[in-house]
Structure 1
Amino acid sequence: MTHSDHDARVRPAEPGDLPLATRTLTRAFADYAFTRHVIAADGHAARVARFQELFLTHIGMPYGRVWVADGSQAVSVWTTPEHDPGPGFAEIGPLLNELAGDRAPYFESAEQVLEPYRPREPAWFLGTVGVDPGSQGKGLGSAVVRPGLIAAEAAGVPAYLETSSERNVDFYERLGFTVTGTVDLPGGGPRTWSMLRRV
């Protein structure tokens, strides 16, 4: 299947897509090193699901851009310089803290050590992207990320992301990102890469 076939199945998310999109992201992040480190183990899957749902409904949809592919089997959630997501984060901050549970201090310290690597200039920030485990390896990940890259390029701003998976580093490098920082998260957390795609 060519890229264009996939890209034809990528579209902006609508409110009706959110339950499935949440499920996809929850399944994709079920055993992700970063979420394991910053979200409590007790009821972990349910916490991750609520975390992703809050990010989709309170950040991505109102302040950023969300794309889905193949019936929400792949999802990308971006924040953009056009709309400051600060109010959304302020609103859900206490809830995220609650979801982090006994890992809240690790969540906070991860944010603190990653902050210096985040772009100071306007940038598109790939907040979360996931492909349902049953649909991986079909090119859906790059297909669902690509509209954000095109839009960032059109706006003349870089795209930025963070990943705690070495395998993802190669994937994003193929999409034009370069590593701008490598951080071992405090408290025995995973190595996390900051990556920027310059215009």
Structure 2
Amino acid sequence: MGVAIRTAGEGDRELIVRLLDEAFQDDPVSGWVFPGAEDRRAKHPGLMAAFTDIVLAAGRIDVMEDGSACALWLSVPADEGHGDRDGDAEDDGPALVREAVDPDNERIEAIGRLTAAIHPTARAHEYLWMIGVAPGRQGEGLGTALIGAVLDRCDREGLPAYLEASSARSRRLYERLGFEPAGPVLDLPDGPAMWPMWREPGPYRPV
């Protein structure tokens, strides 16, 4: 690729938030959470900031050195999904995000609870929460390079990986990287589909 990948720190927060906001403004799920274009432009950055803060604190964000793409990862232990699997009051995370971003928008909380309910819990794995590529740089293989760096480690360590694809285009990319369907499609209420996908570790092939 010719572009270095590094681990983002607190000083990269604004870069990551801006990159995710631009990358997901036209994403089907973002459009479902914020149906109105004006409302989405105003409040979508706050949701991306909340996600960024969660992963900076509890996971890892990989970023291209030139700021063109980033990937948000969480290491999930066995028997512990992303949030509360039953979506009840025991997990306050989705409600806290909603309160911080837009208390009147129930869909902010709903997306967190719905994805938590389908998240596999039996085995430890790497969870790709989000990957964002600057709109003008899409199609250059940046996302593949970012994901591939972690998948190489998964193969070395024998770890599976999991994600939810939010569009048919991203699903096809993940299929090329070895991800397969991981259960029924999540159909958001009156909204688009999300595809849970799982990748078993393969034989490690050093570059």
Query: 1:20 is matched with which residue: 15, 29, 32?
Result: 15
Query: 2:52 is matched with which residue: 56, 64, 73?
Result: 56
**Structure 1's 108 and 49: CA in aligned 2 closer, same or farther, altered over 3 A?**
closer
Alpha-carbon distance between aligned partners in 2 of 1:172 and 1:96, rounded to the nearest angstrom:
29
Matches within 5 A, 1:92-107: 93-104=95-106, 106-107=107-108
**2:76 aligned counterpart, secondary structure:** coil
Tell me which amino acid in the other structure corresponds to 1:54: A
Alpha-carbon distance between aligned partners in 1 of 2:48 and 2:153, rounded to the nearest angstrom:
23
Q: Which residue of 1 aligns with 2:178?
A: 176
Tell me which amino acid in the other structure corresponds to 2:149: P
Q: What RMSD, in angstroms, separates the aligned Cα atoms of the two structures?
A: 2.5
Q: Structure 1 runs of 4+ off > 6 angstroms?
A: none
Alpha-carbon distance between aligned partners in 1 of 2:108 and 2:94, rounded to the nearest angstrom:
14
Tell me which amino acid in the other structure corresponds to 1:79: L
**Structure 1's 129 and 101: CA in aligned 2 closer, same or farther, altered over 3 A?**
same
Unaligned runs of 5+ in 1: none
**Structure 1's 126 and 23: CA in aligned 2 closer, same or farther, altered over 3 A?**
same
**Structure 1's 69 and 159: CA in aligned 2 closer, same or farther, altered over 3 A?**
same
Alpha-carbon distance between aligned partners in 2 of 1:10 and 1:179, rounded to the nearest angstrom:
28
How high is the sequence identity, in percent, across the aligned residues? 31
Q: Which residue of 2 aligns with 1:185?
A: 188
Structure 1 length normalisation: TM-score?
A: 0.82
Tell me which amino acid in the other structure corresponds to 1:37: W
Tell me which amino acid in the other structure corresponds to 1:60: V
Pairs aligned (count): 188
**Structure 1's 40 and 189: CA in aligned 2 closer, same or farther, altered over 3 A?**
closer
Structure 2 length normalisation: TM-score?
A: 0.79
Q: Which residue of 1 aligns with 2:33?
A: 38
User: Any conservation in 2 of the 1:40–1:99 contact (CA below 8 Å)?
Assistant: no
- Name the structure with the higher helix share: 1
User: Any conservation in 2 of the 1:40–1:100 contact (CA below 8 Å)?
Assistant: no
